[in-house]
Amino acid sequence: MNVTKKFVPLGEYAPDAAVYNNSLSPYASFESPPVINASNILWVDGKYVPALSFASLGQAIAARCQGATTATDTSDAIHIYAGTGAKLYEYLGSSFNDVSVAGGYTAADASYWKFAQFSSSGYGNLLFATDFNDGIQQIAPGAAAFALITSSTGTAPKCSQIANIGQFVVCGNTQEATNGAVPYRVQWCGINNPTYWGYSSLADQQAQGGQQFMNANYGPINHISNGGQYGLIFQERAITRMYYVGGDAIFDFSGIVDLQRGCLFPNSAVQIGANVYFIAHDGFCMTDGQSVQQIGHGKVDTTFLNNVSQQYADRVRGAYDPIQKLIYWAYCSSGNTTGICDSVIAYNYMENRFMPITESISCMFLTKSFGYTMDTLDNVNTNLDLITPSLDSPYWEGGNQQVGTFDANNNYGTLTGAALAASIDTIETDPNPGGISYFDGARPIFTDSVGNGVVTVTPSTRRTENSAYTVGAAASVNTRTGICNFRASGRYMKATIGITGGFDALMGADVYIQPAGEA
C-alpha cells in the first residue's frame, strides 16, 4: 500500500473540550480544533514557543514573599519592593535591604501585601503598602524606610485592598475604630490629600473624604482597580464602578458591571490599561468596566477550578508580560501541602489562548529589569557563561517590563532561564474514515536555530471513540530523514511531540499513514 503524508497541526489547548475526533468538529469559538494535553509551551505571535524556567538574580529574602511591586521615584529610577510576614525589603541589585518600620510586621501566613503609588503636588510621590494586620505603610520610593501612614485628620484604616483612583487613595475590606472590621466597606482619603482620613462630618465632605458600604450579599472586597475618573470594586461575587462625580456625593457607586461574577482570588486580578483580567467562581474573565467577558469558558475553566487548591486561595497570583502579550497565573494545585505554587497557567490576551506550565513559584508581579554593569553581574552569577538571558540581551540595560518572580527558596528572579521540557499533542485525526490506518511515523515541524532541542514523538491510537488510547513508545528523530519512526494502528490517532533543550517555534507534524482495511 502507498504511504500517505499528511500534515497534522497543533491545536489550541482546551482540556475542557470534547476529545472525540476533534479535527472534524466545528469549534466555532476556537481558532483551530482543540487539544487536550500540553505542558510547558507558550503561544506567542501565532506560534508555539518554549516556556522558560525560573532564573535567579542571585539574591533572596528571608522568608516567603507575600507580595511585591515596582515603583519609580521622581527621577524615574526603579525601586523594587517585596514583603514577607515580618519585613518589607527593597531590592538594590546586589542585595535586599530591610526597609521595614521599626519592629517589623505581623502579617499572618494567609495575608498578603498590596501596593498603590500616589503622586500629588502637595505630598510628592508616595508608595503605600498594606497587609491588613498592620497599619498602612508609606514610603517615598528610594527612601530609607517605610513608616506608618501620616494622618492629619482622622485615622487611616487597616485594609486588605488599596488602589489609586484619580486624586484619591482608596481602601477596601477595612478595619477602623468606628465600624470595626467590615469586609465590604470602602474608604478614601481627602481629595489630593493622603493624610486626610475623616469621613463623617461636613468638613470631611468638603475635603471629599468618605466611605461606602457595598452590598454584603456579594462578599468581601477582594480587589480595587486603579483608574483616573473611575475604579472598579471587585467583591467576591460582584463588580461595581466607583466613579468620581465630586460635589456632595464625591463618588457614584451605581454603575453595576456584574452581579454574578467577582474576583474569587484576591491576588488574581491583572490590570492592563482599562481592562482587568480576573478569576471568578465560574472561571477566567475580563472586564473593560462596562461588561464582563468569559475568556476561559469551554477551554480551561472546569479543569482549572477542579485543580486549584482553595486552601491556598491567597497564593493565586497574576502578572503579565507586555512584550509577549502573556498573563501568568501561578497557583497551588489540589493536594498541595507546601503552599508554594506548583502550577502556572499562561494566557495570550491578544490571541485568546491558554497554556499550562509546571513551575514552582511563591510570588509573581509586574516589574522592570534592574540595570546591571559587568561588576554587578557577579551578584547574579560569577560564571558569565551561565547567565540567562544572554549578555547581549537588552534585559541587562534595565527598564524593561517583565514578570518578576520568587521561587520556593525565596530567591528573586525572572522567567528567563533554560527552556522547560515541553510537550503537546497534535489534534486527533481519522485518516481513513470508516476504517483502520497504520501509523508509520511522524516528522515534527519545528525550527531550532541553536540546535539544542531533543525531540521525540509518541503515538496514541484508538479504534472507537469510547476506547482508551493505546500509547506507543516514544521515538527519536532519525537524523537523516527527520522522521520519528514507529508502527501503530487504529481508527483515531494523534501524536505527542516532546522537546527538551529548547527550540524556536513548533508548528505541527507530518504523519505517515496507510489504510489498513475495514474496522
pLDDT value of residue 24 = 43
Q: What confidence tens digit (pLDDT) does each residue in 89-136 have? A: 999 988 999 999 999 999 999 999 999 999 998 899 999 999 999 999
358, part of any domain: no
Read off the pLDDT of each residue in 319-323 and give the average, rounded to a whole number.
96
Considering the domain architecture, whether residues 203 and 102 belong to the same structural domain is answered as yes
409, part of any domain: no
Q: What confidence tens digit (pLDDT) does each residue in 345-400 have? A: 999 999 999 999 999 999 999 998 776 555 555 555 555 554 555 656 555 566 68
Full residue range of the structural domain in which residue 93 is found: 65-316
CA 195 to chain centre: 33
Considering the domain architecture, whether residues 47 and 101 belong to the same structural domain is answered as no
pLDDT value of residue 428 = 87
Considering the domain architecture, whether residues 288 and 266 belong to the same structural domain is answered as yes
413, part of any domain: no
3-state secondary structure of 451: coil
Considering the domain architecture, whether residues 103 and 212 belong to the same structural domain is answered as yes
pLDDT value of residue 320 = 97
Strand-pairing partners, residue 455, are: 499
End position of a domain, from candidates 276, 296, 316: 316
User: If you search the block for the grid coordinates 494622618, which residue do you land on?
Assistant: 151
Considering the domain architecture, whether residues 17 and 71 belong to the same structural domain is answered as no
510, part of any domain: yes
Considering the domain architecture, whether residues 30 and 91 belong to the same structural domain is answered as no
pLDDT at 305 over 80: yes
85, part of any domain: yes
Q: What confidence tens digit (pLDDT) does each residue in 156-198 have? A: 999 999 999 999 999 999 999 999 999 999 999 999 999 999 9
Closest CA to 143 of 58, 81, 93: 81
pLDDT at 28 over 70: no
pLDDT at 429 over 80: yes
How many Cβ atoms from other residues are within 10 Å of residue 468's Cβ?
7
Closest CA to 164 of 183, 201, 132, 136: 136
How many Cβ atoms from other residues are within 10 Å of residue 92's Cβ?
14
Q: What confidence tens digit (pLDDT) does each residue in 204-244 have? A: 999 999 999 999 999 999 999 999 999 999 999 999 999 99
How many Cβ atoms from other residues are within 10 Å of residue 42's Cβ?
23
d(CA 63, CA 298): 39
21, part of any domain: yes
400, part of any domain: no
138, part of any domain: yes
Considering the domain architecture, whether residues 177 and 28 belong to the same structural domain is answered as no
Considering the domain architecture, whether residues 38 and 125 belong to the same structural domain is answered as no
End position of a domain, from candidates 284, 316, 348: 316
End position of a domain, from candidates 255, 285, 316: 316
Considering the domain architecture, whether residues 122 and 39 belong to the same structural domain is answered as no
d(CA 360, CA 332): 9
- Whichever domain contains 215, its CATH number is 2.130.10.10
Mean pLDDT of the chain, nearest integer = 91
pLDDT value of residue 25 = 44
Strand-pairing partners, residue 192, are: none
Considering the domain architecture, whether residues 38 and 71 belong to the same structural domain is answered as no
Considering the domain architecture, whether residues 194 and 242 belong to the same structural domain is answered as yes
- Whichever domain contains 509, its CATH number is 2.60.120
Least confident range of 3-12, 188-197, 243-252: 3-12
- Residue 140's pLDDT band, with cuts at 50, 70 and 90, is very high
pLDDT value of residue 495 = 92
d(CA 74, CA 80): 15
Considering the domain architecture, whether residues 35 and 75 belong to the same structural domain is answered as no
Beta-carbon contacts of residue 443 (< 8 Å; ≥ 6 apart)? 481, 482, 483, 484, 509, 510, 512
Evaluate whether 163 touches 231 at the Cβ level (below 8 Å).
yes
pLDDT at 421 over 50: yes
3-state secondary structure of 216: helix
> Into how many domains does the chain fold?
2
- Residue 20's pLDDT band, with cuts at 50, 70 and 90, is low
pLDDT value of residue 26 = 44
